Amino acid sequence: MTKSPLLPSILLVGCGKMGGAMLEGWLAHGLAPSVIMDRHLPELPAPHRVVRTLDAIPAEFKPDVILLAVKPQKANGVLAELAPRFPNATLLSVMAGRTIASLLKAYRVGHAAASPIIIRSMPNTPSALGAGMSGLYAPPEASEKQKKQCEQLLSAVGETVWVAQEGLIDSVAAISGSGPAYVFLLAELLEQAGVEQGLDAKTARTLARGTIYGAGQMLHQLPTDAAELRRNVTSPGGTTEAALKVLMASDAWPQAVSTAISAAVNRAKELAS
Ligand SMILES: NC(=O)c1ccc[n+]([C@@H]2O[C@H](COP(=O)([O-])OP(=O)(O)OC[C@H]3O[C@@H](n4cnc5c(N)ncnc54)[C@H](OP(=O)(O)O)[C@@H]3O)[C@@H](O)[C@H]2O)c1
């Protein structure tokens, strides 16, 4: 892999599934000396440092970006603790549903005059393999430098798109943040159906995974619309058409996917309140 220039230095707060996925990608790309605050992560090789609490962060450490990757409902305490130490920080939140206003309010509990710039992003776990998909939103007061640093971090682990309104981050969360889970579910269901049709479990698993990989590669590498790729596999009167008639019935996948995405967006809005 070609090494891109050194990424900005970060204080990563919370290194679980999502923080850990991004960290793997950043370490592979060359991250400026950074501090990771997490209760469980083992030590990392120098120049990076893992700490369990804020007090253990070296006094001289001034991160370019503080990345918030704890569970949304666990963030308030740590935000209030960060504020006196980093009152004017660039904060990049990957937390689902937490609005800039709610994060700022929690920050100011720790330091009433704190004035951080808060940029929101919604990455996904394929970031661990450099195949992430992230949406970003920056408020108008964010500088070009702050936006660039946040984008650099996320584009080091995959593709990025900017959205023009903060509310659209909930839509990004529902499509690409949670999206890998929908694809994994499809893999599970294809495997199960293969076994029902007489294949042994190992063969069904290989077929399901290989197919999703191959179709993903076609979507990634070809400019063709998904609908046209689908039509290209569908001969009139053939087997694919028989299956798609079931899946594409208006009360089947079209309705299920639309209802599922609405449920995810609504949940993100509930988390915000
Ligand atoms: N998972 C995804 O696919 C995904 C996708 C997009 C965005 N996100 C967002 O990413 C955020 C993190 O999700 P996750 O699934 O990665 O959660 P997670 O696996 O629970 O990771 C959070 C980590 O932070 C640690 N932590 C929490 N508070 C801490 C503190 N004050 N000091 C030190 N360590 C602390 C947690 O330890 P404890 O377990 O001991 O609390 C845990 O190790 C969420 O806000 C979520 O909305 C996740």
**Domain end point (choices 164, 191, 214):** 164
The Cα 20–Cα 74 span in angstroms is 17
Domain range spanning residue 49?
10-164
- The alpha carbon of 68 and the centre of ligand 1 are apart by a number of angstroms equal to 9
Residue 5 has pLDDT above 90, yes or no: no
Q: Whose CA is nearest to atom 40 of ligand 1?
A: 39
Q: Please tell me whether residues 37 and 140 are part of one structural domain.
A: yes
Give phi and psi for 193, each to the nearest 5: -65, -35
Q: How far apart are the first and last CA of the chain?
A: 42
Q: Please tell me whether residues 199 and 160 are part of one structural domain.
A: no
Does any domain span residue 144? yes
94 lines ligand 1 (CB under 6 A): yes
- The alpha carbon of 70 and the centre of ligand 1 are apart by a number of angstroms equal to 3
pLDDT tens per residue, range 224-246? 999 999 999 999 999 999 999 99
Mean pLDDT is lowest, of 1-15, 38-52, 139-153, for: 1-15
What is the atom index within ligand 1 of the atom nearest the CA of 41? 43
The Cα 119–Cα 122 span in angstroms is 10
71 lines ligand 1 (CB under 6 A): yes
Does any domain span residue 187? yes
Query: Which CATH number is 52's domain given?
Result: 3.40.50.720
Residue 1: the pLDDT is: 46
Residue 2 has pLDDT above 70, yes or no: no
DSSP state of 43: P
Does any domain span residue 159? yes
18 lines ligand 1 (CB under 6 A): yes
Closest to 7 in 3D by CA, of 31, 23, 24, 25: 31
Does any domain span residue 171? no
Binding annotation for NADP(+): 69-72
Does any domain span residue 81? yes
**Domain end point (choices 164, 187, 219):** 164
126 lines ligand 1 (CB under 6 A): no
Q: Please tell me whether residues 138 and 263 are part of one structural domain.
A: no
The Cα 224–Cα 238 span in angstroms is 22
Give the chain's domain count. Answer: 2
